[in-house]
Every structure is written in structure tokens, then in C-alpha cells.
Amino acid sequence: MADKILLLPDNIANQIAAGEVIQRPASAVKELLENAVDAGATSIQLIVVDAGKTLLQVVDNGSGMSETDARMSFERHATSKIRNIDDLFHIRTMGFRGEALASIAAVAQVELKTKRTGDETGTFIEIANSSVIRQEPIAVAEGTSIAMKNLFFNVPARRNFLKSNAAEMRHIVEEFTRVAMAYPHIKFTLTSNGQQLLHLESGSLKQRVIQLLGNPYNTKMVSVTDNTDYMNIHGFTGKPETAKKTRGDQYFFVNNRFIKSAYLNHAVMSAYQQLIPADSFPMYVLFIDLDPEQVDVNVHPTKQEIKFEDEKIVYAFVQAAIKHALAQFSITPTLDFDLDASIQKLPSINQPFTTEQKEHVSGGILYQGFTQKNQAHFIEKPSSQELKSWKAFYEPVKQEEALFDYEKKARQQHFAIQSKKNQFEIDDTTELAQVLNTYIILPAENRFLLIHQQAAHERVLYQQMKQATTGVPVTIQKSLFPVTLELTPADAVLLNELLPDLLLLGYQIEPFGKNSFVVQGTPADLEDTDEKHLIDFTLEQYKHFNSDIRVSNREKLIRSLARQRSVKKDTRLTEREMRQLVTDLFQCEPFNTAPDGSPTYLEFKQDQIEKMFGR
């Protein structure tokens, strides 16, 4: 019989390695930009066509390569950074992975132009499918240019999995932002389809943060600086009022390498406790510097996940540094640690803890669970009697019966909601009242409804916009004085993607060069509003809903607009406005929940209320 185990050909092995490193155009952007940084470049250009699917090129003015090095750079496991095994544990450079260029050459057509300082001529190499097609001397400027054309041309299945150009471009801007943020002393430019999206001159870290995350942060950041023998931290964190519903503007760098760490993010969040709402996220750009021996960066192929030798020290250090920075700027509340004299008089303080009380406490299961070794999570085995009811719960059910029961319950629920709707009639004689400028009371026989005005309005707007996308588009009111919007690069790419759906919903917004847009028209039924705030809030809500993969982009946009346009709590409504809102709500299907699933009203029955009063 023939042997079964074979060595893979180099081109296939490279394609497998590419699957780890090059998942989309943005992955190649990361690798190429990091190599340019390591080459000592002071100016780096990223040129993109069709979101990197047609062309992705990085041009730098770094040290360049010799003819031999240029050829060797495309070999698997080739690197200029690692000489012996100890070097793996002292990594301070970025693009040390040998597979990066070999992986790119395995899934794209690559053209490399490079020249070292002092060399008379440079080197030109053309590679496709891991094979060198052409290599020759060339007249070229000092530095390196790598052009990656027709990504995944030889792996059609992988190409089919790429998202839309707008979606892929968002990922490219994200990777570009991460590298540019870490190296403010380097000039970066990003050009897409012949249009320059970003031009970042070298400068301070604060200037770079504002260039990338937006001018509003200029006066709303506090400086973080803390140094110890073990590690240093510097950067910026946002004032509490800048907290958003999404995590977008959060950047951690360890030894100048961007990382993702839920553990360190928790340290920052704990420092903001009670300063921002629980479902909000602060902005931060933080750089941690420590001995490379204390960090393992080889946990993940893209090096975005790392492990610390002592995570608890790093956690405590980050948390303390943020708290210290916020306190310095009088943002965190000050605490008076002097104990109130009245507390000293409490029996639990001034009475002795007797031996009898001590034995009673230490004999308890809770005390033992926290004092005996390995007992903190011990749960006593339940009796067989307690398990009987669970056994019945896990008995197998036939699929057909389960489906029938589901449909039956769904019909019953529908009829229950319809009958409920019929119980609540509103006409000219119905007396409505608003309480706390947030809730509307609707009386009915032996009961009343407490309607949440914002949740109800969200449901009404959602239904109206949903109908507009499937039927007649919303009427547009042209702006007499069109407003110009300046967005961050990432938000500009996102808004471009949403423009067709926004037009259906009555928002005529047109690109106006670079990251600018002009609002030419808004829905005719939209009362006077701040267009900039409307778009900013809608994009923020859209990103908030973006984690739900079950929902289409249009659905996310409609939900975002419904929330933005809905009447907010603490808003006084006239009787006419209340009547219109409640009437519109009962015409919705369903009317009892907002688009996010929260209830639009609570029902209070007379007998329940009387029980509460003990009557």
C-alpha cells in the first residue's frame, strides 16, 4: 500500500499560513504597515483601490532592502528580527513574523520595489502564487513599495467571503488607525480610489488622537502618566461626559503594539465606576511599556492577544493610573475617610465579639466555604427528591410536537394581544395625564395603563420607517441652508455605506470630498433639528446595534433612527400630542413592545393596587 502522509508543496503550505495571517485586505494592511514602521520610515503611504480587493499598496521611505534580502523576504519563516530562540522573548519590533510576505504572495499578485541608501539601483520583484515571475534592477527612490493586487485571485472561495467594499474599507481604516495612533512621529497618508482620506503630519500623541478620533476630544481628554520600576503607562482617557454606547474609541498598546484585552478593559471600566452609566464605554488611548520578558505576544497569529506574566499587577496598575488621572482633574468624587463618631457607638462596633458568637459563625456553611481550602465554589449534592423534577424537564420531546406547541402558543399570544388592544379604546372623551414628564396614564375599566412615551414613540416611528422602505419612500424637505458634516474617517466610511437606505427614509446626504458630507434634505415631517447631532447619534446607535448579527444593516439603521427621533423622557407633551401618540401606538403591530423588545406600557389592575394598600 502507498504511504498516506505527504509533505505539502510550498505554495499550498503558504496558502494555509495565509489563512492564519491574511483573512481580509485589512490583515495585509496591518502586516505591511508594521514592516514599514520597523524599516525606520518617517513617511508611510497606504494606497487602496476597491477596498484592497484590486490593489493594496504601502510605500515607505525606510531603510530598503538589498537584492538578496528582497528575494529572501518572501520565503517562509524568513525574518530579520530573530537570530536565536531568546530573541522571541525580547521582541520590541512589530512585523517580525516570517510568514507575512510569504502569506501575501501566496494569495495575491505582489510587486516589490526597494532600494537601500547608497545603492545605485533598486530591486524589482514580481511574484504570483508563491512563484517569482520577474526579478530585475530598477531605478527607484530609497525605501520600499509593496503592491498587492487581486487578493485571493487563486482562492475564489476566500474571495467570495469578503464583505462589501464599504465594510472591508471600514476594517482597513481601523487597522490603519491602530498603527498610525502608535507612531505619531511618523507621517501617514491613506488614499482610497484616488481620493486622499487621511493626511496625518507627524506631531504629538494628542494631535494624532484628535486627528483620528475627532476634534471634540480636544478639550475632553485627561492625560494619564504613571511610572514605576516594573512598568510605565502614558496616554489619554476621556472625561465621563464623552462615554458612548459603543466601544469604538478604545485603544490599548503594549510596547507600542495594539492589543485587545477584556481584562485590561475591565480595569479601566472599574476606574470609571459610578462616573458613567453601566452600559456606556469611556474613550481611552493608553500605552503600557514593560520588559518584553514579562509579555508573551505569540498567543495569536495576528499578535493582538497577549499574556502577561503577572496579570494582577498590570490590572491594579492600570486601574490606579486611570483613577489618579481622573482625580487630578477633579472628575472623581473625593471621599472623606474620617469615621463618623455616631458609627463608633453602634452595638456591632463597641460590644465584644464573644467566644459563643464566634463558634456559631464559624460553624456555618457560608463561613466554611470561604475559609476551607478549595471550598469557595463547593455546592452540596442535591437530594434525589430534588432531582426528580429536573429529570422530567429533560425528557426528549418529539420535534413535531414541539413545533406544534410553538405555533399554538404563538397563535394564542397573538389573539391575547389583539383582545388586549380591544380593551383599550381612546376617543375624544378619554382623559390622558402625563406624570414625571415621561409616562402617560391611560384609564380603562378597572385598570389603567402606564405608557412609556419614548418606548411608544420608538415603536410608532419604527413601523412608519419600516413601511417606507417597502413601499413609498418618505417625502424629502429640501434644506434652504444645507449643513456640512465633518466626520472621522471610520464614521465617513460607515455613513457612505448607509446613504442609499438613508435616502429611502427621507435623508438626502451627499459626499462632499474627503470625510465631509452635505445634508441636502431631511424628512418633511421632521421638525427643526440639529442635523449634525442627528447623524452623530444615529451612527453611534447603529454601531451599538452592530453586534447583533441576526439583524440586517437596514434594520439596524431603522432602529437607530427610531431611537434618535423618538420623544425623550423629561419632555412635556400637550394633550393633543399625547392623544396622537397613544392612537398611533394602538395602530402598530405589535403595540406592546418597542423595537428592542422592552415594554411600551405596564398595566395596573384595580384589585392589584388595592392589595398593595392592604384593602
Separation of alpha carbons 592 and 596, rounded Å: 12
Please give the residue that has the higher pLDDT: either 580 or 161.
580
Higher-pLDDT residue of 246 and 251 is 251
pLDDT number for residue 110: 93
Measured distance CA(196)–CA(191) in Å, rounded: 4
Burial of 10 (0-12, 13-18, 19+ CB in 10 A): middle
Name residue, grid cell 528580527: 81
66's grid cell: 538589498
Inter-axis angle of helices 205-213 and 165-182, nearest 10: 170
Q: pLDDT tier at 404 (50, 70, 90 boundaries)?
A: low
Indicate if the pLDDT at residue 214 is higher than 60. Answer: yes
**Grid-cell match 481550602, residue found:** 373
Which candidate, 143, 182, 175, 144, places its Cα nearest to that of 51? 175
- Max distance between CA atoms of the chain, in angstroms, equals 100
Q: Give me the CATH topology for the region 205-328.
A: Ribosomal Protein S5; domain 2 (3.30.230)
pLDDT tier at 229 (50, 70, 90 boundaries)? confident
- What are the domain boundaries of the chain? 10-200, 205-328, 433-603
pLDDT for residue 101: 83
CA 275 to chain centre: 21
- Bond into 590 cis (ω within 30): yes
- What was the pLDDT predicted at 344? 47
Q: 335-370, pLDDT tens digit by residue? A: 444 444 444 445 554 555 566 666 665 555 555 554
Q: Could you tell me if 260 and 266 are in contact, meaning their C-beta atoms sit under 8 angstroms apart?
A: no
Residue 2 has pLDDT above 80, yes or no: no
Element (H, E) at 452: strand 447-452
Strands (E), 256-358: 257-259, 284-290, 295-296, 307-308
Q: Which of 162-176, 266-280, 401-415, 592-606 has the lowest mean pLDDT?
A: 401-415
Weakest-pLDDT range from 48-57, 178-187, 411-420: 411-420
Least confident residue range of 58-72, 286-300, 359-373: 359-373
Instruction: Report the alpha-carbon angle 442-447-448, nearest 5.
Output: 20
What integer pLDDT is reported at residue 186 of this predicted model?
Answer: 96
Cell 522573548 sits on residue:
89
User: What is the pLDDT at residue 506?
Assistant: 87
CATH for 433-603? Answer: 3.30.1370.100
Is-above-0.85 flag for pTM? no
Q: Of all residues in the chain, what percent carry a pLDDT higher than 90?
A: 27
Q: Which CATH superfamily is domain 10-200 in?
A: Histidine kinase-like ATPase, C-terminal domain (3.30.565.10)
Helix (H) or strand (E) holding 74: none
Kindly report the average pLDDT of the chain as a whole number: 79
| pLDDT recorded at residue 43 | 96
- The pLDDT of residue 113 is 94
